[in-house]
Amino acid sequence: MEQINLITNFLRIKDTNINITDEYDMGTHLELHGYLDYIAPKCPKCKGQMPKH
C-alpha cells in the first residue's frame, strides 16, 4: 500500500475520489486498477454518445 501512495504522489493524483484497488507488476511497468467514488457526468455536448464514423 505504501508503494501506491508513492505512485499517486509521483503522478500528482490529488483527487480523493480515485481509489486504486490493485497493483500489478508487469515486469517493465506497473499496472494500476481503480475506480471513481461517483458516476462521472456525461459530456454536455455529445450526451455520452459515441460518434459514428
pLDDT given at position 45: 81
Q: Where are the beta strands (DSSP E) in 1-53?
A: 18-25, 30-36
- Residue 34's φ and ψ, nearest 5 degrees, are -160, -175
For the record, the C-alpha cell of 3 comes out as 508503494
Is 28 or 20 the better-scoring residue by pLDDT? 28
Boundaries of domain holding 43: 1-53
For the record, the C-alpha cell of 31 comes out as 499496472
Average pLDDT over residues 28-52: 82
In terms of pTM, does the model score above 0.75? no
Helices (H), the chain: 2-10
Q: Confidence band (pLDDT; 50, 70, 90) for 22? A: confident
Q: What's the structural domain count of the chain?
A: 1
Please give the single-letter amino acid code of residue 11.
L
Answer positive or negative: Cα dihedral of 42, 16, 37, 32: positive
Share of the chain above pLDDT 70, in %: 87
